[in-house]
Amino acid sequence: MQPISSVKGKAYPLGLKNVDTDIIIPAAWLKTISRSGLGKGAFQTLRSLPGNVFDDPAYAGAPILIAGDNFGCGSSREHAAWAMADLGISAVIAPSFSDIFSGNAFKNGLLAIVLPQDAIDRLMEVAKTDDIHIDLETQTVTTPFQDRFAFEIDPFRKHCLINGVDEIGLTLKSSDAISAYENKLSASQPWLSPNQA
């Protein structure tokens, strides 16, 4: 994972609630065995509509997306995070995210920033004309108009994002603890080693 500590730039003012993973990337795009190239299918259904924010030149290349409640609900497909990253999006700001999507976003260095609806409403206005700045170190979202919104983030995730931590490598350092757990488990619950059918 590449380290990420801030994102600054234009933002797509999408604002929709319940943006599900089928909207972010339809199932037809899941047949790939690679992580790249999914930006072409990102938000395909929305992009088929005239006047959509993604094809509005005012927001071309925006690194931020602003959405409504429950962003990324639905499937566990990490293709959703890959597709958004491939489209050039580095951060999403919404009042809430589905648990699985926010995990997938984190694994790919895509910031999933939670702010209350009134902050979202304000940022939707600002995004029409000006840049938005997300700073992970200070956990704030700011605008050129002195708006300053603080957000919460899990400290472990913050650490991994800022330092670009390879999480599997990190966990593998705990191999001895995992082995000890496995030994304890095979003694207390021997049935957990399944009888392969």
Q: Segment 53-92, which members bind other proteins (CB under 8 A)? A: 68-70, 73-78, 81
> Binding segment for other proteins among 3-11, 50-58, 138-146, 176-184 (CB under 8 A)?
176-184
Site string for other proteins, 10-39 (x = CB under 8 A): -----xxxx-x-xx--xxx-xxxxxx----
CA distances from residue 15 to 43, 106, 124, 127 in whole angstroms, order as listed: 14, 21, 7, 11
Residue number with CB closer to other proteins (36 or 57): 36
Distance (Å, whole) CA 86 – CA 22: 16
CB nearer to other proteins: give 8 or 107.
Answer: 107
| Token pair of 195 as six digits | 């009888």
- Site residues for other proteins, 140-169, by CB under 8 A, read 154-156, 167-168
- Asked if 116 touches other proteins (CB under 8 A), the answer is no
Interface pick for other proteins out of 58, 60, 150, 172 (rule CB under 8 A): 172
- Integer angstrom CA distances of residue 66 from 80, 95, 138: 16, 9, 20
The enclosing H or E element of 91 equals strand 91-94
Which is closer to other proteins, CB of 57 or CB of 155?
155
Q: How many CB atoms lie within 10 A of CB 66?
A: 27
Choice between 8 and 122, CB closer to other proteins: 122
C-alpha distances out from residue 159 to 99, 110, 134, 150, 175, Å: 19, 14, 16, 17, 21
Contact residues toward other proteins (CB under 8 A) are 15-18, 20, 22-23, 26-28, 30-35, 45, 68-70, 73-78, 81, 96-100, 103-104, 107-108, 154-156, 167-168, 170-172, 174-175, 177-178, 181-182, 185, 189-197
